[in-house]
Structure 1
Amino acid sequence: MKLLFRLLFVIFISLSLQSCLVNRCKRPQITGYIYDAETKQPIENCKVGETLTQSNGSFSLKEKRYRQFTFFGFEAPTLSVNEPIQKEGYEPQNIQFMQPFGGGMKKGALHHADTIYIKKNILKTN
């Protein structure tokens, strides 16, 4: 009887601890296009986060997730995303957005950043 009680106790604790490990969204998949603000043409090889744009200006950042131990009843943390956009000869920009309950987003979450227009740097001469 004591052995059965110990076995049930170990199984219960194991299942309880396992259910406290949750998979959180650090950044949803982000897709969009980068265009020149003046010419309205796509910009190739523009760095967006950790990727480069294609010849049509499109980019896709992969979803990032992490695992966290938590207790029942705790809410998912706020999701805050800030991804840099950089291209030589252009003013740097960022893709920024925040979702209050974003960390609880399901796997495969997608954010479409639409078309982002960036301006060329203007050099000042004396």
Structure 2
Amino acid sequence: MRKFNFKKLTALFLFIAIAFVCQSCFVSRCKRPQIVGYIYDSITRQPIANCKVGENLTDTKGYFQLKEQRYSQFTFFGYEAPPLLVNEEIYKEEYEKKAIHLFNPFGGGNRKGTIHNADTIFLKRILKSTDYK
């Protein structure tokens, strides 16, 4: 009768575990690319300073820049990148609210340093009604 060889079974199990681990890894995923652009008044065509875009404010030239946000994800070799969905609010008192919307079904796989140019965004002033009684 043959003896069961635990050393060979342990070596085989270790080999399978190492092969499995080598097929998986931590991957850097894009939560939001760097977003840059300008905010202008739609009528006067002048830049809007101190307009809130996401977590930042525009400068005197209406320029804004949102930093790239990334996260790490444990994944297996061959898996597709997750979708990228970005929704950043644009707000300034006396103006209508707007938002920057981005969607890419595989955008979570964007490389580090990806920049989205939002170009120029125009905001409309809210007209105030007056009561002439």
Q: TM class by shorter-chain length?
A: 0.7 to 0.9
Aligned residues: 125
1:57 corresponds to 2:62: yes
The amino acid of 2:110's aligned partner reads M
1:12 alignment partner, one of 4, 18, 24: 18
Q: Could you list the per-position Cα deviations for residues 8-39 of structure 1 after superposition, in whole angstroms to 9, with x for gaps in the alignment?
A: 7499369527x421110000000000000010
CA distance in 1 between partners of 2:123 and 2:79 (Å): 40
1:72 corresponds to 2:77: yes
* Equivalent residues in 2 for 1:87-98, closer than 5 Å: 87-98=92-103
The amino acid of 1:48's aligned partner reads V
Cα offset, 1:79, TM superposition: 0.7
**Structure 1 segments of 4+ aligned residues over 6 angstroms from their partners:** none
Corresponding residue number in structure 2 for 1:109: 114
- Higher gyration radius (CA): 2
Identical aligned pairs, as a percentage? 58
CA distance in 1 between partners of 2:97 and 2:21 (Å): 48
CA distance in 2 between partners of 1:74 and 1:12 (Å): 19
CA distance in 2 between partners of 1:60 and 1:34 (Å): 11
Corresponding residue number in structure 2 for 1:118: 123
CA distance in 2 between partners of 1:122 and 1:105 (Å): 41
CA distance in 2 between partners of 1:52 and 1:33 (Å): 11
User: What SS does structure 1 have at the residue aligned with 2:76?
Assistant: coil
CA distance in 2 between partners of 1:10 and 1:83 (Å): 45
The amino acid of 1:12's aligned partner reads I
Length-normalised TM-score, structure 2: 0.82
Corresponding residue number in structure 2 for 1:44: 49
Length-normalised TM-score, structure 1: 0.86
The amino acid of 1:26's aligned partner reads K
CA distance in 1 between partners of 2:127 and 2:92 (Å): 14
CA RMSD of aligned residues (A): 2.5
